[in-house]
Chain A
Amino acid sequence: MSILVIAEHDNLTLKVATRNAIAAAAKINITLATEIHVLVAGVACGDAAQQAAAVAGVAKVIVADAAHYGDQTAENLAALIVAQAGGHTHILAAATSNGKNTLPRVAALLDVAQISDIIAVLDADTFVRPIYAGNALATVKSADPVKVITVRTTGFDAVEASGGHAVIENIQASTDLGQAKLVNRELTKSARPELAAAKIIVSGGRGMGSGENYHTVLEPLADKLGAAMGASRAAVDAGFVSNDYQVGQTGKIVAPQLYIAIGISGAIQHLAGMKDSKVIVAINKDPDAPIFQVADYGLVADLFQAVPELVAAL
């Protein structure tokens, strides 16, 4: 019996989130002492598979290469994972939009529960996961024969990208179910680091006032710090930036070395997405803003003066 991790990739590159999930698998494996396998399903995904084979601690990479896996649609992916489920005690994926989309389908088809968004592994059956937007932590134990798990990436430091020498095994693709077709994909192109993997994040809220202000005020700071850019739900709802910038309970969960919250009041659902950051800085003109209750360094100031000053001084 072994542990199966579903790779997060774009055919060419293995995403860091996969290595966070493998780190969780490695924790589970402490008590099981078995093998960790990685499933790479995609089209012309040889590069991603090679990268997976090099990851520390991976024993085998299973590759399913077919046109109908290229877009990572949940229906085909779940059918493939279920076909591969035999022989695995645990099936894990990072809690990315792909992982969250696909894995519950797998769990239902296997007639087992899914354990969502784990942040700690206590033993092979027992896990800790946040509930109520992270305002409480639940320790849950599964009695199911197969544990289907999504992994909150901020809960586990990624294993090394190199050092592994896994064997690569090509498998037969399942039939194309033909139920869902990708029509269009609009991914934000940016030279900045990815929000989920960034060391420093500069994040703006409703206090930015407009999308134009968001960009003209925050971009120079992000450039200086080599930071990713994020936003509160209020800023996204107001149309300052697109949804993929959102940090919070229902957006991205981040835990960078430094999180700079600018013009963000600090609603519970925003805090749920960033309160595990190592150092939090808040710049807000309202001294009573709840963000100051979690900030390591708070600056009560008008952001339109303070941020340019900060940029000039860095």
Chain B
Amino acid sequence: MSQGHPENTAQQHPMALEATPPIYRADMTLTQVTRDIVAPLDRRPNGWWWFGFLISITLLAIGASAVVYQFREGLGILGLTYPEMWGTYIVDFVFWIGIGHAGTLISAILFLFRQRWRTAINRAAEAMTIFAVVCAGLFPLLHVGRTLLAYWLIPYPNFRQLWVNFRSPLIWDVFAVSTYATVSLLFWYLGMVPDLATVRDHKPGKWARRVYGFFAMNWRGTARDWHHYESAYGMLAAIATPLVLSVHSNVSMDFATSTAPGWHSTIFPPYFVAGAIFSGFAMVITLMVIVRKIYDLEDYLTVDHMEMMCKIMLVTSLIVAYAYATEMFNAWYTSDIYERNRFYGVHFGLTWTFFTGPYAYAAALMVICNVLTPQLLWIRRLRRSMPVMFVISLIANLGMWFERYTIIVSSQARQFLPSSFGYYRPTRFDYAVLAGSFGLFFTLFLLFVRFVPVIAVAEVKAVLRQPVGEPAAVMEESHA
């Protein structure tokens, strides 16, 4: 729904039109867009879908069993011991919240920058955001141990007249994450209303029509409706943009406002946001490579789209690399013995050789996966190859998980006194719950591709036959 000025017609930019190729194939028609995107909702899901769904459900069941066991036995089943009281649950929380960020970046920030190629990926990317935030939100609730009392995190009037401590970053997080979940959900649903109306009007079957009709909210597509709709959509994009930057900044402040060596660092907010976008785009690429294959959407999720996302991954990988370098440099440059002890102690080990410390494997994975591997994307042939980018995106998310592991777990391993030195050993329950969160994420995503138009139909139609990099133009007699 790129807003543009009616004066910016194609005639005024003849050079630009020739210079940049159209986003979608030139012979595509509106009818065809509707058909291509609505048709998969009518078909029974194919074998690949069921294969993925069964694996996801199985993982989810494993994670759920581990969680039930934790409810019975307590947090002791995890690797948590003094001094490491924030374990993989917090790592998973930061990981999943980060994944979500790319969705909002695509749907809100690229919208504000009028990047019209986003139209094909924004629906799925936003869905990814919501499901990632769902996964993320579960972890703090499990981490608090007494999950039934998790509502204590919310300021509610209680008989002791106590309120939450608003000066604590942990409460900032509660507000940031719940706001993020709510606004993302509203934004996603709002973007979907006209498309649900399209499905409602084109799906056979009385009940399907009624269900889609319910969620399409009486959408008729009048000029007045669109007029307010576009404005509201733009405003939601405008508030989602600072919101997404604030969320991971707040998450980083959980660590940065503490005094623990390795955490107490002003670089954390931008560092976390860049990492979030990096891992989020990696996840979008993972999902899109699968979706375009399963649903034959190669004409919509084109190689150009995938290449754009690879470029963003490359840029954010460089930002992340810069942040790693700053961290390492500062650990030395502060001359603070605790900072140095934390960094050297964790990464260098007793023999003072690099990559022999107790957490050096995590740090090495982080650098290899997030800094070195993405450099392959400098090569055009590689960043246009689906298998290559698929593998790189998986590697990137592995690396991002270990980045959070390095930050969160290793900093607690070297606190101020030798009595507060430790080593975190995740148990099988740590891994089971992590696997369960992946199960939950993919289950939700597969249900999404089954029941909701994966691509924003109305948005794609609005930019059909337009070049990639120019201001929106009024569509001429183009799709006769």
Bound pair (A, B): no
